[in-house]
A and B are shown apart, each in its own frame.
Chain A
């Protein structure tokens, strides 16, 4: 029990190292090791969550027994405990979902149609490489969430990013260029993050987050803090695809390998968002004048992103690209939640990180499944999906309603808390933005649903015969499960907010 925190990132990391070597022996061995490792980390994350809830205390784990501020520390409080569970769950179930993309059948069918030339595991290197990168990405995301050390966060950020570039590049034709452009922007982000760390380190001489928070209290007005805060906005802004810095994101999400896209789209922008929250509210603190200004900037950018992302999503023909632009809008909600700077705002932001991880990954799983069976990604071609894949369509509908924000799905409640927060702090501007964007969201998702249920002209053309179920079970179970989870989070929102998230608020804002 004492060593649970370290198991969470270490096991996927170790399995990534083993995966390639084991895949050399047997093509499936590496995959099973990765799935096993992710299962154990998921179990550990749940164990930690239960432990934090039971004792009500923040868990600290000291790497190698070196006490902070000298050693690296892992910190699990109420807020990141629940996000850890979400990340581990998405990583595990998307990994299970990914398996049929590498089956023998996939390869035979692909020869007939050259539309989808993503990596399909023809060689051991391709299959082992995919799962090794996948495990690395999971380890990076989990590590970013759990760590309590600023430089350690940088290392995990880069682990996640570099493996992310690889997974995007495996997606076929246009993906390599998308990946390269993301690599350039991602490296700029990482460089700015490193500079921000340098500026804060040079006035305090510590890298531990809790220690930094304590020492920075004496430097609230220092110009170093100003520079650090501006650089953090750029760094995390690029990584979480905040509006004017989102240029890499639509291509990267669209062309990513279909088996990895749910994880990339669902989580790669969420972990930096949580890190941003940590810096603004826990390390530097809202009482610094620079953070207050920074939050205004973030909120404004977020609001622009919400509107522009939704408008752009309306203009897309490709379902994946539509989802990518809708991600720009959804990240805007998180940014607006942060910028409110009060308890409701933070609760809304974290709640939205949680629910959006499941919504976006389930939508990408749905389109991945459609691509698997019909090799189709255009919205206009989805007609009659409800007859061919009823269970998948149910999840599609649930996730779409949740994106629009209709109760009892989870998406409604994050918007609800944003509205509560903006009423409390008097930011009525965000209220208007939220209503307009909900209408825009409704427009583009109901366009999809209309095609699916009503448009009879666009019948889907099967490229893969139906098995016993509408999809292989490995794909179907995660899809259905995520649909249930979205509703469950919505139904249980009062518990999540009152018993979990409000306990993890920073002290100055506690309610």
Chain B
């Protein structure tokens, strides 16, 4: 296998599946952050990164080559000519849910900060058990 073939292979992979690989990386980056970070604010931000990756995932598989935005343009009634709008609609709901979750989480963090003066996990555990 020479370098041109290899390049073509990589090119094909990136063109067809590359976006999914990126989404996967983003997902696990978020999860990694949630596990590793000791600061609750950072945990929360990692959580948002993870949620965004799922939204991307839905939007990616809704695409198709040569499809146009799902607005009836009067030229064609063929559903094959449009991309699938349903995942977008679902993700609108998912975005709202993630907004709600983030809001609740921020409110909880404010309470923690008020009460214990910190959002670092180690310090919190120490102060709560006192």
- Interfacial residues, chain A to chain B (CB-CB below 8 A): 151, 154-155, 158, 162, 165-166, 169, 173-174, 176-177, 179-180, 183-184, 187-188, 190-191, 194-195, 198, 201-202, 205, 207
Contacts and interface: CB of A to CB of B under 8 A. Distances in A.
* Chain A at the B interface: SS class: helix
Contacts of B124: 177
A2 to B, nearest CB: 27
B112 interface: yes
B54 A188 contact: no
Contact of A183 (B61, B108, B111): B108
Nearest to B115: A176
B104 A166 contact: yes
A177 B61 CA distance: 37
Q: Which of A151, A174, A183 has the most CB of B within 10 A?
A: A183
A180 B108 contact: yes
A244 B27 CA distance: 22
A183 B93 contact: no
B82 interface: no
Contact of A191 (B51, B87, B112): B51
Contact of A162 (B57, B61, B104): B104
A162 B101 contact: yes
Contacts of B31: 188
B108 A162 contact: no
B50 to A, nearest CB: 6
A313 to B, nearest CB: 21
Contacts of A177: 112, 124, 128
14 contacts: A155-B97, A162-B100, A162-B104, A165-B108, A166-B104, A169-B111, A173-B115, A180-B108, A183-B104, A184-B105, A187-B50, A187-B98, A188-B47, A202-B61
A169 B54 contact: no
* Nearest 6 A/B pairs, CB to CB: A180-B108, A158-B97, A176-B111, A202-B61, A194-B54, A183-B105
B13 interface: no
Contacts of B54: 191, 194-195, 198
A184 B40 CA distance: 10
Contacts of B90: 151
B83 interface: no
Interface in B26-80: 31, 34, 40, 43-44, 47, 50-51, 54, 57-58, 61
* Chain B at the A interface: SS class: helix
A155 B109 contact: no
A198 B91 CA distance: 11
B19 interface: no
Given A154-B94, A180-B40, A190-B97, 14 more contacts: A151-B93, A165-B104, A176-B115, A177-B124, A180-B109, A180-B112, A183-B108, A184-B105, A187-B47, A188-B50, A191-B50, A191-B54, A198-B54, A202-B61
Given A155-B93, A194-B54, A198-B61, A187 B112 contact: no
B51 A187 contact: yes
Contacts of A165: 104, 108
A155 B40 CA distance: 25
A190 B97 CA distance: 10
Given A151-B90, A184-B34, A195 B100 contact: no
A235 B3 CA distance: 43
